[in-house]
A = this chain, B = another copy of it.
Amino acid sequence: MPKESGVSVSVIKRLPRYRRFLGDLLTNGVHRISSGELATKMGLTSSQIRQDFNCFGGFGQQGYGYNVEALYHEIGRILGLSNNIPAILIGCGNLGRAVASHINFNERGFHLLGIFDSNPAIIGRSINGYPIMHIDTVTEFCKEKRPRMAILCLPNQEARKLAQPLIDLGITAFWNFSHFDIKMMQNPNIVVENVHLSDSLMTLSYMVNEQKNKKIK
């Protein structure tokens, strides 16, 4: 597995999906699959699958296909899923609560240390075992526990205010649910994965609109 650097984001974004399909195959007792069969199952072409896997040095054996279990674990390793990167979640509204209770962080490469909010009514409680602390204590907490990733479930303005202080406290990665574009801070040492739910819904709106136009034509 020598070639991992400089792989395009679009290939990386397909890896979790490959892993999901391989996990389903394992659950169904399938231990070996050709790129052609995997392609059909996933709605891709076998040449795309081979190209994607070649970015990481290739996994298959000519005439044998892929070893499903080995490939599943190898993709997990490439994604760094057992790295347990310490993380904090900021903003415990509906969305923050959903993220804290819905996501299995330990199997996704992260270890959630705790949740921060400014609402005194919920400080001291916990969600899914994660303690809710006051946002005023986040500086002290970061200095002591050294989280590296922050999940922002905050309105635009609050995310904008907090991003730089968090970076100054050692945060180098953001899972950003807010509308504030952290990438615009143009800090090359920071990685950001955005989840813009409203953008996603508007994209669907466009597709429905297009669908309707096609029917009319």
Q: Are A108 and B201 in contact (CB under 8 A)?
A: yes
Given A184-B43, A197-B99, do A16 and B210 touch, yes or no (CB 8 Å)? no
Distance of A104 Cα from B197 Cα, bound (Å): 10
A119 within 8 A of B: no
Set B110, B198, B211: member contacting A173, Cβ < 8 A = B211
Q: Are A209 and B80 in contact (CB under 8 A)?
A: yes
Q: Are B206 and A15 in contact (CB under 8 A)?
A: yes
Chain A interface residue number, banded: 35 or more
A183 within 8 A of B: yes
Distance of A16 Cα from B179 Cα, bound (Å): 11
Q: Are A175 and B195 in contact (CB under 8 A)?
A: no
A148 within 8 A of B: yes
Residues of A with Cβ closer than 8 Å to B? 4-5, 12-13, 15-17, 19-20, 41-43, 78-81, 83, 85, 93-95, 97-99, 101-105, 108-110, 148-149, 172-173, 175, 179, 181, 183-184, 186, 189, 191, 193, 195-211, 213-214
Contacts A97-B98, A148-B208 known; list 11 others, CB within 8 Å: A5-B210, A12-B203, A17-B181, A20-B199, A43-B184, A83-B208, A83-B209, A103-B201, A105-B201, A109-B206, A173-B207
